[in-house]
Chain A
Amino acid sequence: MVDAAIELSGIDKSFGTVHANRDISLKIPAGTIHGIVGENGAGKSTLMSILYGFYQADRGDIFVNGKHTVIETPSDAIARGIGMVHQHFMLVHNFTVLENIILGAEGEPLLKTSIAKARSELQRLEREYGLEVNPDAVIEDLPVGLQQRVEILKALYRGAEILILDEPTGVLTPAEADHLFRIFRQLKEEGKTVVLITHKLREIMAVTDNVSVMRQGEMVATRKTNETTVEELAELMVGRRVLLRVEKGVASPGPVVLSVKNLTVEDARGITMVDDVSFDVRAGEIIGIAGIAGNGQSELLETITGIRRAVSGSVSLDGVPIDLTGEADPADLRNRGMAHVPEDRHHMGLVLPFEENENAILGYHRHDRYRKGALLDIDAIRDDAREKIEKYDIRPANCRLKTANFSGGNQQKIVLSREMEQDPKVLVVGQPTRGVDVGAIEFIHRQLIEMRDRGKAVLLVSVELDEIRSLSDRILVMFAGRIVGERGPDAGEGELGLLMAGIEGKEAAE
């Protein structure tokens, strides 16, 4: 008998300059629950998208039930019994459950008969797996937990033997998550294979048989779940790479420059993303906010810099309060000395179709020194850009080149040079080295330390624990929208990893 439901061998995939999957090999035994963990950007979702036919691997082979298989489209995957439940549900909101389930699998032009068939099949599935849901309910009336159940039913209805779930508990309450895990066990008993992608180690320990760890596009380890520990997994996830230790002296913190008090932020759906967060950043120190992506860091950054509205709480800059619940204006904050290197440089920090020099003034384009009468002072703008290109060694050294044609590291240098050269009081930095090549990382780190030594307050948010540890003078750990702990720069990786996974603090209290 074949014992591997899925076998991947030598899978390799790059997107432009980003090497998302490097030579990945993985065996998932049939009839087991297999966890895949890794930080955001480790390549988990890419790998599963390759398996499901969204992307094609540049190299490597896929075997399903021991048979070499080429999966070019999701329908190929479905035909081979692979079903996927995405992090963001793919349901038609104004269709009923039944209509969603047969969508794309109607079978015949008239709906009436296929609906009747689907209804009886659905009832069988519901009975078998305890997946109760009213087939005639309209999707948008259902809570997310039930919507997810519909996604699972969709996959099963199409005959999935292997079910991949991408971060399935991200939107669930703990009770809903527990129910989901019961469904997993039920599926396993029926001989199905479940692949669970997550960064929550607690879930891995609770429900999986085996677990594979990915880091920076590589598969670093596979363990039997009952033979490993959360600590070991956290360590594998974060990595024991040689630290890019930056030479830095002891910080000499001055007065408080940026003060955040009881800040609460909700997203568009009304879910609390930042929950009663308070902290101070002093002149001449770097505060690092560690945490696994999606725990409210992005929202925190965007709120402090005036891009997003807060529900309550206050922020003051140099003792002057900023009204973040009202019409805070990023341009106004910039004038008051707040520089911001955003997490998303492609859509926020830069306008990719712009020439490099046009991006070098983004947000500062109203300054008088870029103005000549009613017009922009093109010469001043380009001279300015050339100066920064030289100082920050941005390559290619051509300020007329379209920004999209620079590599990730050089794009990031464009943003950094723009924000740092304005001589701000506070520098707020999100994921400064995401998608940045190693050479540029060191440069960027040195620049951040230099900012600190020049007496600037630096707030650094990063999902790279190494980065946080080597740069920060104080480390705050964020989990589920809250600051769950503060540690010094010499805090152990394991200790921080546990905090990041929510194991101490709020979670431990349960």
Chain B
Amino acid sequence: MSAPYAKLPAWADYGLIPFINLLAAFLVAGLVVLLIGENPLRAAAIIMDGALGYGQGVAYTLYYATSFIFTGLAVAVAFHCSLFNIGGEGQAYVGGLGVALACLAFDSILPWWLTFPIAIAGAALFGAAWAFIPAYLQARRGSHIVITTIMFNFIAASLMVYLLVNVLKPATSQTPQTRTFLEGGQLPKLNWLLEAVGLSVRSSPFNLSFLLALLAAFLVWVLIWRTRLGYEIRMRGHSARAARYAGVSETRIIIIAMLVSGALAGMMALNPVMGDQNRLQIDFVTGAGFVGIAVALMGRSHPAGIVPAAILFGILYQGGAELAFEMPGISRDMIVIIQGLVILFAGALEHMFRPRLQTLFAAIRRHPAGAEVRQGGA
């Protein structure tokens, strides 16, 4: 308790600690690769090369990162209100319904740039609506949001299967998916952006929603640190009693934070549905909702951390696909293992290295008198 802990400088807090945690995750993952009988260094090289080594790879990496930015922001906003929204997966899935409905309705009459805002609104609205029920149950009835959002993932999955099979599937089709959107329901690709920096990209799913994701990251920063609402969300997140004292309604703020979170998760659907596949398919979210949790943890719930963390996971996803291809002994599940390890080290064991680092910093810096920073208070 009275150990001489120093307050860590910001660069160590936000840079060094996540880096060490990541390193630990990779080390353990390396051991797993070793156990399978493959060379972990070669595996790492394949991952990096597959994700960043050529234009196509970069495009795919950024395509995956786009989804993770949205879901990571979704988890982060809820975190700031001290809510653990595990329902990003389901919210994104239902958000896809909003995108698809907008595209199906308007793709024949409007150009894409008019359909786009409608699809954004649809994605956000449907995602938010799916988050509303767990939010209401938490705020009013005290039902734990972790439990309800998990359950809502399953409900979303069943609901979407039902809708795709029985309602949205064209009568003549054998596959449970909507018809392909026309030009007015397709987002333009961003391959030119990569070509502008000298990469050659033949075809890739990398599309306009990446820029929307970056914009969303900026807007989340504005929301959390520059608006009254964000201030109240953080206040409630840190201290429910202080929020009560300040006259902030807990019910209201929980519901609003979850609505924003759900809307962001829902917007993830724009990337695969409108940007790539141009139709609504079963299971199009493919775990991006859960990756968002790892991204938010690694990015310490700050947009400036979430974007790089999302890109890192994009690298793992894209590189992992190449790895499975190059090393038949390693399946794509390896990436899930690495992901799990990152969550373990960046989230659950976040504080494992912190005390040691703090003692280390305290030992390095023999503070000149007067510059001492008090820890904690009484």
Complex CA distance for A405 and B372, rounded to whole angstroms: 10
Which residues of B2-18 have CB atoms within 8 Å of chain A's CB atoms? 2, 7
Interface status of B244 (Cβ within 8 A of chain A): yes
Candidates B239, B249, B376; contact of A351 at CB < 8 Å: B239
Q: Report if B227 contacts A (CB, 8 A).
A: yes
Nearest-CB residue, chain B, relative to A375: B226
> Which one, A83-91, A140-148, A358-366, A501-509, is touching chain B?
A358-366
Report whether B2 and A58 are in contact in the complex, using a CB–CB cutoff of 8 Å.
Answer: yes
Interface membership of chain A positions 170-213, coded 1 if the CB is closer than 8 angstroms to chain B and 0 otherwise: 00000000000000000000000000000000000000000000
A482 to chain B, nearest CB (A): 26
A376 contacts chain B at the CB level, 8 A cutoff: yes
Q: Are B227 and A376 in contact (CB under 8 A)?
A: yes
Q: Which of A329, A363, A407, A411 has the most CB of B within 10 A?
A: A363
Q: Which of B7, B249, B378 contacts A435 (CB 8 A)?
A: B378
Q: A334-B247, A376-B228, A376-B231 are in contact. Are A362 and B242 (CB under 8 A)?
A: yes
Tell me which residues across on chain A come within 8 A of B235, comparing CB atoms.
Answer: 351, 354, 362
With a cutoff of 8 Å between Cβ atoms, the chain B residues found around residue A365 in the complex are: 228, 231-232, 246
Minimal Cβ-Cβ distance residue in B for A378 = B226
CB–CB A350/B244 < 8 A: no
Query: Which residues of chain A have C-beta atoms less than 8 A from B241's C-beta?
Result: 344, 347-348
Instruction: Produce 1/0 per residue, B5-35, CB < 8 A to A.
Output: 0010000000000000000000000000000
- Supposing A351-B235, A376-B231 touch, asked if A307 and B377 sit within 8 A by C-beta, the answer is no
A15 & B244 in contact (Cβ 8 Å cutoff): no
Which residues on A sit within 8 Å (CB–CB) of B245?
Answer: 305, 307, 330, 340, 342, 348-349, 362-363
Is A103 positioned at the interface, with any CB of B under 8 Å from its CB?
no
A347 touching B373, Cβ below 8 Å: no
A2-34 toward B: CB 8 Å interface, digit per residue (1/0)?
A: 000000000000011110000000000000000
B374 and A405 within 8 A (CB)? yes
What A residues does B378 contact at CB under 8 A?
Answer: 15-18, 408, 435
In the complex, which residue of chain A has the Cβ closest to the Cβ of B232? A365
- Say if the beta carbon of A157 comes within 8 Å of chain B: no
Which residues of A lie under 8 Å from residue B244 when comparing CB positions?
A: 307, 330, 348
Contacts of A63 in B (CB 8 A): none
Residue pair B238, A351 in contact (C-beta under 8 Å): yes
Once the chains bind, are A358 and B377 in contact (CB under 8 Å)?
Answer: no
Q: In the complex, are the beta carbons of A362 and B376 less than 8 A apart? A: no
Q: A423-473: which residues lie under 8 A (CB-CB) from chain B?
A: 435
B300 within 8 A of A: no
Q: Specify which chain A residues have a CB less than 8 angstroms from the CB of B337 in the assembled complex.
A: none
B228 touches A350 (CB 8 A): no
Query: In this complex, which of B2, B226, B246 has the most chain A Cβ atoms within 10 angstroms of its Cβ?
Result: B246
Instruction: Out of B234, B247, B377, name the residue touching A363 (CB < 8 Å).
Output: B247
Partner of A407, one of B7, B234, B249, B374: B374
Q: Which residue of B lies closest to A334 (CB)?
A: B247
Of residues 114 through 141 on chain A, the ones whose CB sits less than 8 Å from some CB of chain B are none
Partner of A17, one of B2, B228, B377: B377
Max chain B Cβ within 10 angstroms of own Cβ: one of A18, A405, A407? A405
Query: Is B36 an interface residue, CB under 8 A from the partner?
Result: no
Assembled-state Cα–Cα distance A411/B377 (Å): 9
Would you give the 0/1 interface string for B229-260, flagging 1 where the beta carbon is closer than 8 Å to chain A? 00110110011011011111100000000000
Give the residue name and chain of the A residue nearest to B236 (CB): A351
Is the Cβ of A358 less than 8 Å from the Cβ of B231?
A: yes
B349 at the interface (CB under 8 A from A): no
Judge if B222 is at the interface, Cβ distance under 8 Å.
Answer: yes
Q: In the complex, A29 Cα to B242 Cα: how many Å? A: 46
Within 8 A of A (CB), among B260-313: none
> Are B222 and A375 in contact, with the CB atoms below 8 A?
yes
Q: How far is the CA of A53 from the CA of B331 in the complex (A)?
A: 52
Residue of A nearest to B226 (CB): A375
Question: B residues within 8 A CB of A331?
Answer: 246-248
A371 interfacial by beta-carbon distance below 8 Å: yes
- Selected from B242, B247, B248, B377, the residue in CB contact (under 8 A) with A404 is B377
A332 interfacial contact with B, CB 8 Å: yes
A169 to B2 alpha-carbon distance, docked (Å): 34
Q: Which of A16, A330, A351 has the most CB of B within 10 A?
A: A351
* Chain B residue nearest in CB terms to A327: B249
**Binary A-proximity of B338-378 (CB < 8 A = 1, otherwise 0):** 00000000000000000000000000000000000111111
Contacting B at CB under 8 A, from A357-387, are 358, 362-363, 365-366, 371, 374-376, 378
Does A352 lie within 8 Å of B377, measured CB to CB? yes
Determine if B242 and A349 form an interchain contact, defined as CB atoms under 8 angstroms apart.
Answer: yes
**Residue with the greatest number of chain A CB neighbours at <10 A, chosen from B232, B246, B247, B373:** B247
Q: Using known A-B contacts A358-B231, A362-B235, A376-B228, determine if residue A406 contacts B246 with beta carbons closer than 8 Å.
A: no
Per-residue CB proximity of A30-58 to B under 8 Å, as 1/0?
00000000000000000000000000001
Query: Residue of A at shortest CB range from B235?
Result: A351
Asked if A488 is an interface residue, CB under 8 A from chain B, the answer is no
Nearest-neighbor residue (CB-CB) of A332 within chain B: B247
Task: Give bound CA distance, A350 to B246, whole Å.
Answer: 10
The docked-state distance in angstroms from the alpha carbon of A15 to that of B377 is: 8
Write out the residue numbers on chain A whose beta carbons fall within 8 Å of the beta carbon of B227: 374-376
In whole Å, how far is A12's beta carbon from the nearest beta carbon of chain B? Answer: 12
- A353 on the interface (CB 8 Å rule)? yes
Q: A359 to nearest B CB, angstroms?
A: 9
8 Å CB interface, A293-307 against B = 305-307
A347 touching B239 by the CB < 8 A rule? yes
- Shortest distance between the CB of B230 and any CB in chain A (Å): 8
Query: With the chains together, A432 CA to B238 CA distance in Å?
Result: 23
Cβ contact of B373, chosen from A15, A362, A405, cutoff 8 A: A405
**Residues from chain A with Cβ under 8 Å of B228 in the complex:** 365-366, 371, 376
How far is B245's CA from A375's CA once the two chains are assembled, in angstroms?
A: 22
Contacts of B242 in A (CB 8 A): 347-351, 362
List residues of chain A with CB within 8 A of the CB of B374.
Answer: 16-17, 405-407
Give bound CA distance, A366 to B246, whole Å.
10
Whether A16 pairs with B376 at a CB distance below 8 angstroms is yes
Q: Return chain A residues, CB-CB under 8 Å to B226.
A: 375-376, 378
Instruction: Pick the residue among A18, A353, A405, A408 that contacts B238 (CB under 8 A).
Output: A353
* Measured CA separation A58–B2 after assembly (Å): 9
B232 & A404 in contact (Cβ 8 Å cutoff): no
Task: Tell me, rounded to whole Å, the shortest Cβ–Cβ distance linking B239 to chain A.
Answer: 5
Measured between beta carbons, the chain A residues less than 8 angstroms from B7 are 405
Residue of B nearest to A346 (CB): B377
Q: Is there an interface contact between B247 and A16, defined as CB atoms closer than 8 Å?
A: no
Q: With A and B bound together, what is the CA distance between A332 and B249 in angstroms? A: 12
A371–B228 Cα distance when bound, in Å, is 8
A333 CA to B374 CA in the complex, in Å?
A: 35
With both beta carbons as reference points, the residue of chain A lying nearest to B242 in the complex is identified as: A351
Q: For residue B2, which residue of chain A has the nearest CB?
A: A58
Q: Distance (Å) between the CB of A419 and the closest chain B CB?
A: 11
Residue from A333, A374, A406 in contact with B377 in the complex, judged by beta carbons closer than 8 Å: A406
| Cα separation A16 to B376 with both chains bound (whole Å) | 8
Contacts of B2 in A (CB 8 A): 58
Known pairs A15-B378, A353-B238, A362-B246. 9 more at Cβ < 8 A? A17-B377, A18-B378, A331-B247, A347-B239, A347-B241, A348-B244, A354-B235, A363-B246, A435-B378
What are 12 of the A-B contact pairs (CB < 8 Å)?
A17-B374, A17-B377, A330-B244, A342-B245, A348-B241, A352-B238, A362-B235, A365-B232, A376-B227, A376-B228, A408-B377, A408-B378
**Which chain B residues have a beta carbon within 8 Å of chain A's beta carbons?**
2, 7, 222, 226-228, 231-232, 234-235, 238-239, 241-242, 244-249, 373-378
4 pairs of A and B residues whose beta carbons are closest in the complex: A331-B247, A363-B246, A330-B247, A18-B378
